[in-house]
Amino acid sequence: MDAWGRFRRNRLALLGLALVAVLATSAVLAPWLSPHDPARQSLIEKRAKPGGKYVLGADEFGRDILSRVIYGSRVALLVGLLSAAIAVAGGLVLGTLAGFAGGWLDAVVMRAIEILLAFPYLLLALAIVAVLGPGALNTTIAVGIWGVPAVTRIVRGAVLTLRETEYVGAARALGAPAVALLRRHILPNIVPGLIVYATLFMANAILLEAALSFLGLGVQPPTASWGLMVSTGRDVLLVAPHVATVPGLAIMVAVLAFNLVGDGLRDALDPRLRGSG
């Protein structure tokens, strides 16, 4: 059975895929799916409870939460996917370099990683915004860079272990070039774990973007981002919990979707599952 076949049989993974499709549709078809203009304010209807005119309620400006959640999927997908991609790409490169090459290269990369890890995240974000300006894309880059050290360490750890396994050792002894080794033996073993990490990282990424947008470093008003909606709903959490909770649940659904797909991919791609259940 091939990878796609295994994936197809996994019901949870299919559910995840369906949810991702809903998300993507939301993002693309936002203008047609939203019942109201997400930026239209109606102060008198502030914090309207869910039901009636505003299906999921209204925020502190009387804007329709459902419409803002639909539009917010754009920022969520951008932030979630792009930052995860940056973190994974950067981490893969640095991690394999460090783990495989060893020696002084490993030492240098690891020290740089340690510097980045100790560097306060807020400062990193402020610096990137100071240089590139505010906006969703730039905060996404900041979040992505922040994720690189973690992925590097995970990849390096895995590479170190796999490097010493018998069959890599054997392949090396037979004179296989490094690149081939990486491609055929090492990377396929790392990728599943990475996928799982990346899908979880997305939740973190969206929440980090929330904190940054709240500080004014991310999306600018009146753009809707789930993270920003959650942050601004904080003040009224005890009075009108739906304002923060609904976008929070949207974050959860998106993360769940990618997580299910990720786990499904992991299970499907695991080379050792061939021949087993």
Task: Quickly count: other Cβ atoms within 10 Å of residue 174's Cβ.
Answer: 7
On the 0-12 / 13-18 / 19+ scale of CB atoms within 10 A, 123 is exposed
Among 66, 210, 246, 265, which residue interacts with another protein (rule: CB under 8 A)?
210
Q: Is 82 in the site for another protein (CB under 8 A)?
A: no
The least distance separating another protein from the CB of residue 175, rounded to whole angstroms, comes to 21
- Burial code (b: 16+ CB inside 10 Å, e: under 16) for 177-190 equals eeeebbeebbbebb
Among residues 78 and 251, whose Cβ is nearest to another protein?
251
Query: By CB under 8 A, which span of 66-74, 84-92, 171-179, 245-253 interacts with another protein?
Result: 245-253
Rounded (to 5) percent helix, strand, coil in the chain:
75, 0, 20
Among residues 182 and 254, whose Cβ is nearest to another protein?
254
Among 92, 94, 230, 265, which residue interacts with another protein (rule: CB under 8 A)?
230
**Subset of 155-194 contacting another protein (CB under 8 A):** 157-158, 160-161, 164-165, 189, 192-193
**Subset of 126-155 contacting another protein (CB under 8 A):** 126-127, 130-131, 134, 149-150, 153-154
Among residues 55 and 127, whose Cβ is nearest to another protein?
127
Residue type, 157: G
Positive or negative CA dihedral for 48, 52, 56, 58?
negative
Among 24, 29, 89, 237, which residue interacts with another protein (rule: CB under 8 A)?
237
- Could you tell me how many residues of this chain bind another protein (CB under 8 A)? 88
DSSP letters, 116-144, are HHHS-HHHHHHHHHHHH-SSHHHHHHHHH
Among residues 86 and 218, whose Cβ is nearest to another protein?
218
Query: By CB under 8 A, which span of 23-31, 78-86, 173-181, 203-211 interacts with another protein?
Result: 203-211
Cα torsion through 12, 193, 123, 111, rounded to 10: 180
Q: Is 242 in the site for another protein (CB under 8 A)?
A: no
Among residues 27 and 201, whose Cβ is nearest to another protein?
201
The least distance separating another protein from the CB of residue 4, rounded to whole angstroms, comes to 18
Q: Is 207 in the site for another protein (CB under 8 A)?
A: yes
Q: Is 119 in the site for another protein (CB under 8 A)?
A: yes
Task: Reduce the DSSP state of residue 237 to 3 states and report it.
Answer: coil
d(CA 6, CA 42): 50
**Subset of 22-61 contacting another protein (CB under 8 A):** 39-41, 43-44, 46-47, 60-61
**Subset of 59-78 contacting another protein (CB under 8 A):** 60-62
Strands (E), 149-266: none
Task: Reduce the DSSP state of residue 90 to 3 states and report it.
Answer: helix
